Amino acid sequence: MTGTRAPRRSTEEVQRLILEAARTLFERQGYQATTTAQIVERSAVDPPTLYRHFASKAALFEATVVCSLREFIDRQVESWRSNPPGQGEPLELARHFVGGFYNALERHRDSLRLLLTATGDDDALGDLARAISNQFTEGLIALRQALVDETQAQGYQGLDTPEATIGAITGMIIALVLLDEWIFPAGTRPDKETRINEAAAMMIHGFAHRPPPPASP
């Protein structure tokens, strides 16, 4: 009796399997400890198929990390856009933003630390770090406009340089996730929920208590 042949998988299905396998391994092991052979085994594709879709481990890592961060940004913008600006409770909106960004960074914590140190290097890892940095910066543009709309609707004043404000907020969260061992002495590190709540409170009160812009002469 002739065996039935397994149905051919679509390009989208193959890419999904590869990316899911790569994301799981990168999150568990980090970039350096993960090999393409492990990704091939976990995704159940052969090496030529993997390399037809992704030229290198670096390309796979870029796709998984950028996808994770962009998914967070897209969800955040959609969340803000799905309700009229000014309708949500400000502190809850801030917690949602801070917590989502914190979780997106935490999933790739060790690998992102590695990339931070490699940004200035003149090699493949340095190229990867700069590519991810550039795509992340582009993603913040959409967040910036959504933030401006929300703060104006809430009646907050003085948001004259939203790019600096977004940079300060995201920088604070990045530091809490990636540089916690520098910021907090051993044995005194607050838990994750406390960090998120404190960052959200600083974000909101930094908006709420700004003085109004000076009147035009």
Q: Which domain holds residue 73?
A: 57-208
145 falls in which pLDDT band (50, 70, 90)?
confident
Q: Is residue 177 part of a domain?
A: yes
Q: Residues 149-167: pLDDT tens digits?
A: 777 777 777 677 777 888 8
Query: What CATH number does the domain containing 25 carry?
Result: 1.10.10.60
Q: What is the mean pLDDT of the chain?
A: 82
Q: What is the DSSP string of the chain?
A: -PPPPPPPPPHHHHHHHHHHHHHHHHHHH-TTT--HHHHHHHHT--HHHHHHH-SSHHHHHHHHHHHHHHHHHHHHHHHHHTS-TT-S-HHHHHHHHHHHHHHHHHTTHHHHHHHHHHTT-SSHHHHHHHHHHHHHHHHHHHHHHHHHHHHHHTT------HHHHHHHHHHHHHHHHHSHHHHS-TT-PPPHHHHHHHHHHHHHHHHHTPPPPPPP-
Q: How many domains does the chain have?
A: 2
Q: Please report whether residue 4 resides in a domain.
A: no
Do 25 and 104 lie in one domain? The reply is no
Residues 46 and 101 in one domain: no
Q: Are residues 86 and 110 in the same domain?
A: yes
Residues 41 and 116 reside in one and the same domain: no
If asked whether residues 39 and 69 sit together in one domain, one would say: no
Residue 23 sits in the same domain as residue 80 = no
pLDDT digits (tens, 9 = 90+) for 9-63: 788 889 999 999 998 888 888 888 899 999 999 999 999 999 999 988 888 888 8
The reply to whether 69 and 137 lie within a common domain is yes
